[in-house]
């Protein structure tokens, strides 16, 4: 008898940004799995349902435990912060199921407000035209490939959302990415930094590309680097959609 | 006396994906503005608050009316589908305020589940690594610039999320984008098509890049074209995050 797995994007953290569908999936689970820090964000939800927290870099173990539980017939909720489908846990669930040959376990992914949406809302309106999301973590993707993407994205004038920009010991990809951006964009290009969006320690800052290499940036900062059209208005980062070329705005 | 504007991302449409923060912003507004079709999605919310619907391509007028109302001291909610910050209404609000010099009207953006998150969740887990979002509408952005971005994004092996792929009379950018993708990616690359995610007429389809030029695609289809690593497993589109290079998955 096979159970099911629901991979739940809980949004940035504050329950005001958790969708009713995500809440319902959590509350109707038999057991809840997740990274400890994220489980803490949903502490007050469904207190009677057993939960299994695990640490960072234990994703593969965690997903195998989730599959083990689902195999016994349980409905298992696996928590992802932001959107489960953007650098989240959804993919690993499918990868592990394929590897184990567990084709009959049903999987559902509940989308959430991803970190890039949350960061953009707090910064103003930086993502009004084409953008790219790149993770600078070279833990799972070769560094050269990451930097090649930064370079092509900069050439394409994409607004850039950088995930996991810098680790305690991993600073070089960030430094190199800053250098690449500096070759393609003006030093006064606005860059937004958002940490802990919609959580207690939220910090939102708008700096320039010239200031980026020395900015305080860590694993959980989302960096949004503007494109050639982005500017700052009234403390907000705004990329025009292009209406002004076509219409009288007032 | 100045009022305020709250730009609300309502998510894909089904109220199960509307965040409590968005609901609260709508229910506490003095007046609600939006594109008619989107207002219909929130028909049952706050029935006593007056609403002002307007048609497509009337965005500039709509935002000017919103600003007019906010100027009289009202709290105005402006509805955007998906996330207000991704090709949504947030940017135009700031653009119009700057143009009119209305610096003292307070603006808040409530992020939502964007169309790309919703489409990805229904397709499986296509967005597990770096991706780019490009709108193929050449209404506001020059066609050459759009196609140049498609080309560079294809070179960078980004997963590609295409918004507004095709209009009734606007088919050429889509045809050209298909040709560009075909030059960089294998014909059997999985491509997901999602229409009306989480609404009554939802359609989800996974095809190949070779089939894309003849696929049924229109203004509201979200197209997610996989990268070189994307494959189909058990009817779902999955891009590996890279764990298999580093860990034993089972």
Mutate to test the interface with B, among A45, A160, A234 (most CBs of B within 10 A): A234
CA distance B216 to chain A (A): 23
Mutate to test the interface with B, among A23, A63, A156 (most CBs of B within 10 A): A156
Mutate to test the interface with A, among B24, B114, B134 (most CBs of A within 10 A): B114
Chain A hits for B18, Cβ within 8 Å: 19-20
Residues facing residue B124 across a β-bridge: B237
Chain A hits for B156, Cβ within 8 Å: 132, 148-149, 152-153
CA distance A48 to chain B (A): 23
- Phi and psi of B192, rounded to 5°? -100, 140
Residue B250 has pLDDT above 90, yes or no: no
Quick check: A29 and A77 in contact, CB under 8 A? yes
Q: What is the structure's pLDDT at A202?
A: 96
Quick check: B137 and B143 in contact, CB under 8 A? no
Q: What is the structure's pLDDT at A248?
A: 81
Specify which of A104-108, B140-144, B245-249 reaches the highest per-range mean pLDDT.
A104-108
* CA-based nearest residue to A116, from A26, A46, A11: A11
How much of chain A is in helix, strand and coil states, percent to nearest 5?
Answer: 35, 25, 40
Chain B hits for A236, Cβ within 8 Å: 94, 107
Quick check: B99 and B23 in contact, CB under 8 A? no
Report helix, strand or coil for A159. strand
**Across all residues in chain A, what is the average pLDDT?**
95
A237 has a chain B CB within 8 A of its CB: no
Q: What is the structure's pLDDT at B126?
A: 98
What is the rounded distance in angstroms from the CA atom of residue A88 to the CA atom of residue A85?
5
pLDDT tens for residues A213-224? Answer: 999 999 999 999
Q: What is the structure's pLDDT at B139?
A: 86
Could you tell me the pLDDT band of residue B140, with boundaries at 50, 70 and 90? confident
What is the rounded distance in angstroms from the CA atom of residue B58 to the CA atom of residue A82?
32
Q: What is the structure's pLDDT at A151?
A: 98
Q: What is the structure's pLDDT at B205?
A: 98
- Phi and psi of B181, rounded to 5°? -60, -40
Residues composing chain B: 250
Chain B hits for A247, Cβ within 8 Å: 60
Residue written as tokens 């169309």?
B115
Note the pTM of the prediction, 2 decimals: 0.96
Q: Measured in whole angstroms, how far is the alpha carbon of residue B126 from the centre of its chain?
A: 16
pLDDT exceeding 90 applies to what percent of chain A?
Answer: 88
Our CA angle for B35, B4, A19, nearest 5°, is: 60
Q: What is the structure's pLDDT at A5?
A: 98
* CA-based nearest residue to B13, from B134, B140, B122: B122
Report helix, strand or coil for B110. strand
Q: Are strands A75-80 and A31-35 parallel, antiparallel or unpaired?
A: parallel
Residue B125 has its nearest CB partner, among A91, A124, A249, at A91
Our CA angle for B244, B247, B249, nearest 5°, is: 70
Tokens matching residue A105: 């376990």
Residue A109 has its nearest CB partner, among B95, B121, B155, at B121
Instruction: Determine the average pLDDT of the residues in A105-118.
Output: 97
pLDDT exceeding 70 applies to what percent of chain A?
Answer: 100
Could you tell me the pLDDT band of residue B16, with boundaries at 50, 70 and 90? very high
Residue A194 has pLDDT above 90, yes or no: yes
Residues composing chain A: 250
pLDDT tens for residues A12-62? Answer: 999 999 999 999 999 999 999 999 999 999 999 999 999 999 887 789 999
Among residues 191-230 of chain A, which lie with CB inside 8 Å of chain B?
none
Instruction: Determine the average pLDDT of the residues in B75-94.
Output: 95
* CA-based nearest residue to A12, from A204, A198, A212: A198
Mutate to test the interface with A, among B78, B242, B247 (most CBs of A within 10 A): B242
- Phi and psi of A225, rounded to 5°? -95, 125
* CA-based nearest residue to A77, from A1, A2, A4: A4
What is the rounded distance in angstroms from the CA atom of residue B223 to the CA atom of residue B229?
17
- Exposed e or buried b for every residue in B67-100, given b needs 16+ CB within 10 A? bebbbeebbbbbbbbbbbbbbbbbbbbbbbbbbb
Q: What is the structure's pLDDT at B199?
A: 93
Instruction: Determine the average pLDDT of the residues in A63-81.
Output: 96
Could you tell me the pLDDT band of residue B17, with boundaries at 50, 70 and 90? very high
DSSP string, A37-52: HHHHHTTTS-TTS-EE
Neighbours of B107 (CB within 10 A): 20
Residue A92 has its nearest CB partner, among B87, B103, B241, at B241
Cβ contact A234–B146 (<8 Å): no
What is the rounded distance in angstroms from the CA atom of residue A142 to the CA atom of residue A132?
18
Chain B hits for A145, Cβ within 8 Å: 157
Tokens matching residue A206: 């708008």
Q: What is the structure's pLDDT at B242?
A: 79
A111 has a chain B CB within 8 A of its CB: yes
Chain A hits for B87, Cβ within 8 Å: 127-129, 241
Q: Which chain A residue shows the shortest CA-CA distance from B249?
A: A96
Residue B249 has pLDDT above 90, yes or no: no
**Across all residues in chain B, what is the average pLDDT?**
95
Distance from the first to the final alpha carbon of chain B: 63
Among residues 53-82 of chain B, which lie with CB inside 8 Å of chain A?
59-60, 64
A171 has a chain B CB within 8 A of its CB: no
Q: Which chain A residue shows the shortest CA-CA distance from B96?
A: A249
Helices B90-100 and B59-71: angle between axes, nearest 10 degrees: 60
Chain A hits for B132, Cβ within 8 Å: 130-133, 153, 156, 158
DSSP secondary structure letter of residue B70: H
What is the rounded distance in angstroms from the CA atom of residue A123 to the CA atom of residue A161?
12
Residue written as tokens 């084409």?
A130
Q: What is the structure's pLDDT at B180?
A: 98
Residue A232 has pLDDT above 90, yes or no: yes
Cβ contact A100–B250 (<8 Å): yes
Could you tell me the pLDDT band of residue A201, with boundaries at 50, 70 and 90? very high
């Amino acid at each position: 008898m096979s159970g099911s797995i629901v991979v739940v994007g809980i949004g940035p953290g504050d329950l005001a940004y958790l969708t009713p569908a995500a809440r319902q999936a959590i509350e109707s689970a038999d057991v809840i799995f997740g990274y400890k820090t994220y489980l803490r964000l949903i502490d007050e939800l469904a207190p009677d349902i057993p939960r299994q927290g695990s640490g960072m870099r234990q994703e593969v173990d965690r997903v195998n435990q989730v599959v083990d539980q689902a195999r016994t017939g349980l409905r298992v909720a696996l928590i992802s912060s932001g959107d489960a489908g953007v650098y989240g846990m959804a993919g690993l669930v499918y990868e592990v199921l394929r590897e184990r040959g567990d084709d009959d376990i049903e999987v559902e992914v509940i989308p959430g407000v991803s970190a890039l949406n949350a960061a953009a809302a707090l910064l103003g309106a930086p993502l009004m035209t084409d953008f790219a999301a790149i993770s600078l973590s070279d833990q799972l993707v070769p560094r050269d490939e990451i930097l090649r993407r930064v370079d092509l994205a900069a050439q394409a004038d994409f607004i850039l959302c950088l995930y996991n920009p810098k680790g305690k010991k991993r600073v070089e990809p960030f430094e190199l990415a800053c250098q690449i951006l500096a070759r393609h964009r003006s030093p006064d290009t606005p860059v937004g930094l958002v940490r802990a969006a919609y959580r207690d320690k939220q910090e939102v800052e708008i700096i320039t590309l010239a200031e980026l290499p020395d900015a305080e940036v860590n694993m959980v900062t989302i960096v949004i680097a503007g494109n050639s059209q982005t500017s700052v208005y009234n403390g907000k980062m705004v990329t025009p959609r292009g209406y002004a070329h076509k219409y009288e705005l007032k």
